[in-house]
Amino acid sequence: MKLSLRLKFAFFTIFILLLLTAAASLISTIELQKYYRQRITEQLESKLEEILYLLNYTSLGFDSNGNLDYVQLVRYAEILGARLTLVDSAGTVIFDSKVKQDSLIYVENHLDRPEFRQAQQQGIGSHQRTSATVNVPFQYVAVRVPQFSVKKNFKQTAFARLALPVEEVQYVLRQVRWKIFAGGGIALIFMTFLSYYISKKLTYPLSRLAQVAESVKNGSLEAYFERTSSDEVGDLADLLNGMLSKLRQDLVKFRKLEKVRTQFLGNVSHELRTPIFTVQGYLETLLQNPNIDKITLKNFLAKAFFQTVRLNNLLKDLIDISRIESGEMKLNYSYFDVAKWLQKLTAELLPKAQENNLHFKLFADSDSQMKVYGDQEKLSQVIINLVENAIKYNKPGGSVELGFIRKNDLVTIYISDTGMGIEKEHIPRIFERFYRVDKERSRAVGGTGLGLAIVKHIIQAHNSSVIVESSLGEGSKFSFDLKAKSS
Ligand SMILES: Nc1ncnc2c1ncn2[C@@H]1O[C@H](COP(=O)(O)OP(=O)(O)OP(=O)(O)O)[C@@H](O)[C@H]1O
Ligand SMILES: [Mg+2]
């Protein structure tokens, strides 16, 4: 069974209260009983002393013959308001103010009564019990009678006993107990309300938190946990709010990422579609016209081939991008001769520049005997990408320059061209995947807009960055620094 915090609290307070009431009643009963018994015993003792004196030294209780005057003694006991019993040394009752004289023979031997046994040993004894003779609760006190009596027939009396009914004490105790329980009852009612109020105050902030948590569970990340108290529950609310705002931020990032992914996927399929459709178109035409002339056939095949080259490049770039972004790309760092490296690349790229009627030259720093630190293969890819761009976005008769300049412990590598240049507003965006300033031109020269994205990632992996300087119609310069060491 699930008990609410409030109910648990109420049960707990009520249980404590009951326990306290029971303990109070028990303790007060015991203490009062002890007190009353002691007081009654003392009272009976002093009365017994008085009786013994009167019996010993006055004529009270005896007739002129020195015999016990039963009637007189009974009256005397009535005045005392107590029951008086006289017993001889054998335990036989010789007088009892509550028993008629002629019935005495039926009264059993009294020597085994606890108060008499105690009196026999210690001179005085007391006991409380319900009387077997008259069937009422009594407090008994018995004393041994000193054997110096002047009265003739009194000698046979060995013990005198006084008894008081303690019904009244028990009545008082009952009253006290009743009052304690009545007080407890009132306290219980009071505590029930109080515990309800306190527990409500305690559990309200918690149930508020639970409500808000429920709405969060149902998807409302805009929910806010109120700080209804300045205690631990309040701290919990703060903590939950912190958690929520972190979640909200994460969600914003996640959604952005998701958007980028779908955009990327859309771009990829779009880029793939164009060359595939084109190839399909050429092949279809050729199939439908088996007698096509040789010149057109060669032309169509060349165009279809160009598109497959494009497709291949695109796929290569896509694989590179995904390797880089998934962190799969591992760089193989080493020191290598920068001049030799760029000379080799220049030789590879020169034919392409010449095809486009461009001048292409390499500028080497006077201090050409130096090594750079990096992944040579990946950096070659960067140079090829940048030089290809410089060729693609150039003007007929223009020029491209690849060069390196030593700056202390760094080497700046640059690729500059006298091409069309890039408008300022486009510069920050050209490194985005699939971003092309002039889509038609880029596509015409076989571009997909992934080149600079790959360049950026590789240079970043070398703890460096690509710097672009460009002016429209005049040309552009792409540069980056690498760590250098003289060889
Ligand atoms: N040297 C340059 N001069 C003028 N514009 C440039 C130059 N380099 C890049 N751009 C512009 O930046 C865009 C992005 O370049 P990027 O290299 O990423 O793609 P791409 O060359 O179009 O295709 P890819 O390199 O994937 O074949 C290009 O489309 C072009 O508009
Ligand atoms: Mg490019």
For residue 481, the enclosing domain spans 330-486
Neighbours of 379 (CB within 10 A): 24
Q: What is the CATH number of the domain that holds 36?
A: 3.30.450.20
Q: What is the CATH number of the domain that holds 391?
A: 3.30.565.10
- Domain end marker among 305, 324, 343: 324
Domain count, the chain: 3
In a domain, 226, yes or no: no
Query: How does pLDDT run across 348-386, given as a tens digit for each residue?
Result: 999 999 999 999 999 988 877 899 999 999 999 999 999
Residue 250 shares a structural domain with residue 349 = no
Residue 464 shares a structural domain with residue 342 = yes
Distance 454 CA to ligand 2 centre (A): 9
pLDDT score of 242: 92
- Residue 155: band (very low, low, confident or very high) from pLDDT cuts 50, 70, 90: low
Q: Which residue has the higher pLDDT, 447 or 155?
A: 447
Tokens matching residue 291: 């007698």
Residue 288 shares a structural domain with residue 308 = yes
- Domain end marker among 278, 302, 324: 324
**Alpha carbon distance, N-terminus to C-terminus of the chain:** 82
- pLDDT above 60 for 285: yes
Residue 420 shares a structural domain with residue 477 = yes
- pLDDT above 80 for 439: no
Distance 358 CA to ligand 2 centre (A): 17
- Residue 153: band (very low, low, confident or very high) from pLDDT cuts 50, 70, 90: low
Q: How far is the CA of 182 from the CAs of 33, 179, 190, 193, 314, in angstroms? A: 20, 5, 12, 17, 93
Distance (Å, whole) CA 295 – CA 291? 12
Distance 396 CA to ligand 1 centre (A): 17
DSSP 3-state of 189: helix
- pLDDT above 90 for 166: no
Q: Establish whether residue 422 lines the binding site of ligand 1, counting it when its CB lies within 6 angstroms of any ligand atom.
A: yes
Residue 237 shares a structural domain with residue 359 = no
Distance (Å, whole) CA 88 – CA 74? 18
State pTM to two decimals. 0.57
Query: How does pLDDT run across 187-196, given as a tens digit for each residue?
Result: 888 888 888 8
**Of residues 347, 343, 290, 282, the one with CA closest to residue 308:** 282
CA 359 remoteness from chain centre: 70
Q: What is the CATH number of the domain that holds 319?
A: 1.10.287.130
Measured by CA distance, the residue closest to atom 25 of ligand 1 is: 451
Query: How does pLDDT run across 304-356, given as a tens digit for each residue?
Result: 999 999 899 889 988 988 888 888 888 899 999 999 999 999 999 999 999 99
pLDDT score of 225: 87
In a domain, 198, yes or no: no
Please list, in sequence order, all residues whose beta carbon lies within 8 angstroms of the beta carbon of residue 91, skipping any fewer than 6 positions away.
109, 110, 111, 112, 116
| Matching residue, tokens 């007391």 | 126
Distance 392 CA to ligand 1 centre (A): 8
What residues does 33 pair with on adjacent strands? none
Residue 441 shares a structural domain with residue 370 = yes
Tokens matching residue 360: 């292409």
In a domain, 194, yes or no: no
Ligand showing the shortest atom-to-Cα distance for residue 448: 1
Q: Establish whether residue 450 lines the binding site of ligand 1, counting it when its CB lies within 6 angstroms of any ligand atom.
A: yes
- Domain end marker among 281, 309, 324: 324
> Contact at 8 Å (CB) between 131 and 113?
no
In a domain, 11, yes or no: yes
In a domain, 99, yes or no: yes
In a domain, 270, yes or no: yes
Ligand showing the shortest atom-to-Cα distance for residue 436: 1
Distance 407 CA to ligand 1 centre (A): 28
Q: Establish whether residue 442 lines the binding site of ligand 1, counting it when its CB lies within 6 angstroms of any ligand atom.
A: yes
Residue 259 shares a structural domain with residue 142 = no
- pLDDT above 90 for 17: no
User: Do the strands 399-407 and 359-363 form a parallel or antiparallel pair, or are they unpaired?
Assistant: parallel
Kindly report the length of the chain.
487
Query: How does pLDDT run across 385-413, given as a tens digit for each residue?
Result: 999 999 999 999 999 999 999 998 999 99
**Of residues 470, 472, 478, 476, the one with CA closest to residue 399:** 476
Residue 371 shares a structural domain with residue 320 = no
- pLDDT above 60 for 150: no
In a domain, 216, yes or no: no
Residue 366 shares a structural domain with residue 426 = yes
Identify how many contiguous H helices and E strands the chain contains and give both numbers.
10, 12
Residue 412 shares a structural domain with residue 461 = yes
Q: What is the mean pLDDT of the chain?
A: 88
Ligand showing the shortest atom-to-Cα distance for residue 313: 1
Residue 320 shares a structural domain with residue 334 = no
Angle between helices 5-57 and 167-217 (to 10 degrees): 170
Provide the percentage of residues in the chain whose pLDDT is more than 70: 97
In a domain, 352, yes or no: yes
Q: Establish whether residue 393 lines the binding site of ligand 1, counting it when its CB lies within 6 angstroms of any ligand atom.
A: yes
Residue 317 shares a structural domain with residue 335 = no
Query: How does pLDDT run across 195-244, given as a tens digit for each residue?
Result: 888 888 878 888 888 888 999 889 888 888 888 778 888 899 999 999 99
Distance (Å, whole) CA 322 – CA 482? 24
